[in-house]
Amino acid sequence: KAGVTQTPRYLIKTRGQQVTLSCSPISGHRSVSWYQQTPGQGLQFLFEYFSETQRNKGNFPGRFSGRQFSNSRSEMNVSTLELGDSALYLCASTEAGANVLTFGAGSRLTVL
């Protein structure tokens, strides 16, 4: 089975721009979660989707949004980028009924 695939792996944006990150889960996994990882705050939960519905949401401003498609692929969007949004954004998929996350390699976002 292919693992969780995230694209792009690296990107550089400037303040005020927006960015869209993509995640393809493991085949058959219907739950996709997103996390932000920074040196200061560690791994923080953004949101989780299952069958195209957001089931859980973390404490992030409305500039952070996401969606899931019928094929379980997911995207997250950050609008009006701020310097503090520079981070590694990690996507993870989960098999139904399991509690274990399988992470992708992440998308490294740098905001200048």
Partner 1 sequence: SQKIEQNSEALNIQEGKTATLTCNYTNYSPAYLQWYRQDPGRGPVFLLLIRENEKEKRKERLKVTFDTTLKQSLFHITASQPADSATYLCALDMGGDYKLSFGAGTTVTVRA
Contact residues for partner 1 (CB under 8 A)?
A: 4, 31, 33, 35, 42-45, 48, 50, 55-56, 58, 90, 92, 94, 99-106
Cα separation, 34 vs 87, whole angstroms? 12
Task: Choose between 3 and 16: whose C-beta lies nearer to partner 1.
Answer: 3
Report d(CA 43, CA 36) in Å as an integer: 6
Distance CA(58)–CA(61), nearest Å, equals 9
* Residue among 48 and 85 whose Cβ is closer to partner 1: 48
What is the nearest approach in angstroms of partner 1 to the Cβ of residue 80?
Answer: 26
